[in-house]
Amino acid sequence: MVLLPSSLVFYPIPVVQRFLHADLNSRTTLLINNSIMPLPKPSESKWRLLLSLLLVCAAILELDAKQERTTPGRTSAPKEPKHGRAAAKRHRAETLKPKIKPTAAAQTKTLLTQVLGRGVFKKVGETLSVQAGDTLSLRCRGKPVEWSVPPYVEEDEGRLMIVQQERFGLLTLVNTTVADTGEYSCYPMYCEDRDCRREYSKAISVFIFFPDPRELFVPSSSHYEILQLRSNWPAVLPCQVTSPEAKVALHREFPPGEVEVDGTEISFNYRKGFTIHRPQPRHAGVLHCVATLGNLMQSSTKYILIYVNYPMAPPAPVIQASSSSVAVGDNLHVTCSAVGERDVVVEFSWEYPGQQIGRPLYTEETMSPVSGEASRQHFQSVLQVDEVRDVDQGTYTCTAQNLQGAKSVSTTVKVVPKAKARKLLV
């Protein structure tokens, strides 16, 4: 806004486009914003003053327009869309889907390190050796985490300390011994509210040896240990050494001698011991391990191996009654049979209606080889019910069981009066 002399009014003049001059004695007009505004007839001096003020106003407004174009935060007029490579890039950027920020659990990768000193860490591999008597410090990244340790360490809580920090868990074991040898694992936890569970797929483990020049085997609480050799399951002799540098051999007590370890039938692993992959009767007996390291030789606990022939599956029994309808006073026989493997015992058990009144169980069991199949046997159990009464009517159930499991079969017997039974026979 510009203030003009008193004979004029206030005129908004954003841009003075042009002036139209006429004779001083004629009527003067001014074209402002495409509108013609009538002006009074001034004197020559007043006209010059008016013209000067208008020029000053035009200059001020031009300066104000430049400031509007350069002032931050002002919106400029929309530009025409550009064509070509730049426009295509902008179009692709606009159509991209927004990225989903992963959760904290997805961003954090489990990392297990050994703490060697303040601010000094070492990433651990599959195995680690810590001299017996030294302090073990492990750090596992995650919030929160859980630890699993060998049974002997877990029982001795006085030497073990576990602390959960903001971003990692810290395990410290002091006054270590050879008995602490074993697997140490760290499990990141997945939590929803107060319910947390281990994420086993993200667990990281390390087997730690605690070597001692006086002890080559992890000590055991007994001199003998009984192990069952199952025909369908690998057997492990846990001859666990305290140093990965020790050489270990497997020996038999009777007859004395070293057992061949070929890596296929029998194999050795420093973290497990000896594994018999397919146990056979010839593997049974008393065995022990012998470890040597330098000039030191030591023997392990003795293992008594007992071979048990395990069947491949539970038995499949078949049940049959001597008759589905029995007259009062007659005798009833219910037979249950199953085919099993040689040297694998099948046991039978019965449930019958007479149990309700305390009727004793009378059974006769037999075993015979299957004709033409030397490796299979036929087992049979016959339930005998003498002088049938009304209480003997109902369901008879036979259960056949071996070392792999049990299966049951049933049949129903109806008891009828003696006269009615004769009519049925006629």
Stretch (H or E) spanning 161: strand 160-164
Q: What average pLDDT does this structure show over 297-325? A: 91
SS3 assignment, position 175: coil
Give the C-alpha distances (Å, rounded to integers) separating 325 from 24, 347, 418: 143, 28, 11
pLDDT of 46 reads: 67
Cβ atoms of 19 and 29 within 8 Å: the answer is: no
Which range in 154-158, 226-230, 369-373 is most confidently predicted, on average pLDDT? Answer: 226-230
Cβ atoms of 214 and 298 within 8 Å: the answer is: no
Residue 51 pLDDT grade (very low, low, confident, very high; cuts 50, 70, 90)? confident
pLDDT of 103 reads: 40
Residue 64 pLDDT grade (very low, low, confident, very high; cuts 50, 70, 90)? low
Query: Percentage of residues in the chain with pLDDT exceeding 90?
Result: 46
Strand 127-129, strand 160-164: pairing: unpaired
Which segment of 298-307, 341-350, 398-407 scores lowest on mean pLDDT? 341-350
Q: What average pLDDT does this structure show over 210-234? A: 88
C-alpha to C-alpha distance for 80 and 2, rounded to whole angstroms: 36
Is pLDDT above 50 for 370? yes
Residue 309 pLDDT grade (very low, low, confident, very high; cuts 50, 70, 90)? confident
Residues 6 or more apart whose CB falls under 8 angstroms from that of 184 comprise: 138, 147, 148, 149, 150, 171, 205, 206, 207, 208
Number of neighbouring beta carbons within 10 Å of residue 404: 14
Which segment of 94-98, 131-135, 413-417 scores lowest on mean pLDDT? 94-98
pLDDT of 34 reads: 46
Q: What average pLDDT does this structure show over 359-375? A: 88
pLDDT of 23 reads: 40
Is pLDDT above 50 for 221? yes
Q: What average pLDDT does this structure show over 303-313? A: 87
Is pLDDT above 90 for 28? no
Q: What average pLDDT does this structure show over 43-66? A: 71
C-alpha to C-alpha distance for 344 and 366, rounded to whole angstroms: 14
Residue 418 φ/ψ region, left for φ over 0, alpha for ψ in the -120 to 50 degree band, beta for the rest: alpha
Q: What average pLDDT does this structure show over 327-354? A: 92
pLDDT of 57 reads: 74
Is pLDDT above 70 for 12? no
pLDDT tens digit string along 372-413? Answer: 887 789 999 999 999 999 999 999 999 999 988 999 999 999
Is pLDDT above 60 for 422? no
Number of neighbouring beta carbons within 10 Å of residue 361: 13
Is pLDDT above 90 for 207? yes
User: pTM for this one?
Assistant: 0.54
